[in-house]
């Protein structure tokens, strides 16, 4: 953007407001990723309704323009966002609903809603995990529990940590849906000065990649905690990508899928390597010798890979795909297998 354009926007708020889209959008969730998403949307949309569970967050945004619990450095203009702790009210006011609650809490969060209240909405899934109560990916859960048709669903994904969105660091996202028009609309919601959103039809593959990359990042953290270096972990991630491609292709065949795209490979890389990755952090604790139970207690955020690993393990009883990395990590997390010997054993098969 040219300096003259920036000056014009600052001096003429009315002009800036006219450029924003008039869709009515609800955001469900009050954590870091939800806060980052509201920050992105605020540049593009006039009508944002935001549900949070904690009164403290609602008051912090309404009074001071900051979420006091997550990404407190991010300013959210209270005039641009209507925030509430009343879920039914927030959903009722929107045509598009973006779900951003941690997957571990999703089932309980949505319990107050009648099936009909979500079934007629356009649903955008920004949750990076599975529903532990039903062992389903989010779109499958919404289909079975709320009768949301596939044509009304999209996901937004890609290599994106909320902390970097907060700093307005350039980020690439992907909006995926079977409904091309919906995917394009969602991409428009999320494209601004520092975010670019592309479009994909591969909602199932992209969503499964989200689930898998958290497991693989957890494994990267375990290896790091055990003392393995970057040389080895790079080879580990390359093998994870092969396994991801194998499982996703087995469960959702698609000749047009390119596993090297950012929504697959990029998201895997940033989750496995980044200092902001809670899954890597969780795995690192286990690699350093903490038990799974203690590591979970030490985490002040949800490590989605813990739940995702059980989900994929259960799913694979039906699919019977070759996923030795996932199964090894599952054995460590849920069967108390020896961390060092199991991770060393699986490494012998890497190429």
Which positions are annotated as active-site residues? 213
DSSP secondary structure string, 189-200? HH-SSSEEEEEE
Closest CA to 280 of 232, 225, 221: 221
Query: Which helix (H) or strand (E) is 26 found in, with range?
Result: strand 21-28
Rounded Cα distance between 351 and 349, Å, is 7
Closest CA to 127 of 107, 102, 104: 102
Rounded Cα distance between 50 and 55, Å, is 12
**The two three-digit tokens of residue 54, written as one number:** 């904690």
8 A C-beta contact, residue 287 and residue 222: yes
**The two three-digit tokens of residue 169, written as one number:** 């660091």
8 A C-beta contact, residue 124 and residue 99: yes
Rounded Cα distance between 208 and 185, Å, is 22
Task: Determine if residue 65 is left, alpha or beta; phi over 0 gives left, psi from -120 to 50 gives alpha, anything else beta.
Answer: left
Angle, CA 113 vertex, CA 108 and CA 117 arms, to 5°: 145
Rounded Cα distance between 87 and 149, Å, is 21
* DSSP tag of 150: G
Which phi and psi angles does 228 have, rounded to 5°? -70, 145
């Amino acid at each position: 953007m040219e300096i003259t354009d920036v000056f014009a926007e600052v001096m003429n708020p009315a002009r800036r407001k006219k450029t924003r889209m008039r869709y009515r959008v609800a955001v469900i969730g009050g954590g870091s990723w939800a806060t980052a998403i509201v920050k992105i949307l605020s540049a593009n949309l006039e009508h944002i309704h935001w549900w949070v569970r904690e009164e403290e967050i609602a008051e912090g945004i309404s009074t001071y323009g900051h979420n006091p619990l997550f990404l407190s450095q991010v300013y959210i203009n209270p005039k641009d966002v209507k925030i509430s702790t009343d879920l039914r009210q927030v959903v009722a006011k929107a045509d598009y609903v973006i779900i951003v609650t941690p997957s571990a809490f999703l089932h309980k969060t949505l319990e107050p809603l009648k099936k009909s209240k979500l079934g007629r909405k356009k649903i955008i899934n920004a949750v990076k995990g599975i529903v532990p109560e039903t062992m389903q990916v989010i779109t499958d859960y919404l289909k079975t529990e709320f009768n949301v048709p596939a044509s009304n669903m999209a996901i937004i994904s890609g290599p994106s940590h909320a902390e970097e969105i907060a700093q307005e660091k350039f980020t690439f996202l992907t909006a995926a849906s079977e409904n091309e028009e919906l995917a394009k609309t969602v991409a428009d919601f999320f494209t601004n000065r520092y975010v670019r959103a592309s479009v994909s039809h591969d909602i199932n593959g992209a969503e499964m990649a989200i689930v898998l990359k958290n497991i693989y990042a957890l494994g990267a953290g375990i290896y790091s905690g055990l003392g393995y270096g970057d040389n080895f972990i790079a080879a580990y991630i390359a093998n994870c990508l092969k396994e991801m491609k194998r499982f996703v292709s087995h469960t959702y065949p698609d000749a047009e899928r390119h596993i090297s795209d950012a929504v697959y490979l990029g998201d895997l890389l940033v989750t496995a390597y980044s200092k902001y990755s809670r899954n890597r952090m969780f795995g690192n604790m286990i690699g350093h010798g903490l038990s799974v139970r203690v590591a979970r207690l030490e985490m002040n955020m949800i490590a989605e890979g813990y739940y995702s690993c059980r989900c994929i393990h259960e799913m694979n009883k039906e699919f019977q795909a070759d996923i030795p990395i996932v199964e090894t990590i599952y054995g460590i997390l849920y069967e108390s297998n020896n961390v060092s010997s199991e991770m060393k054993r699986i490494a012998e098969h890497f190429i």
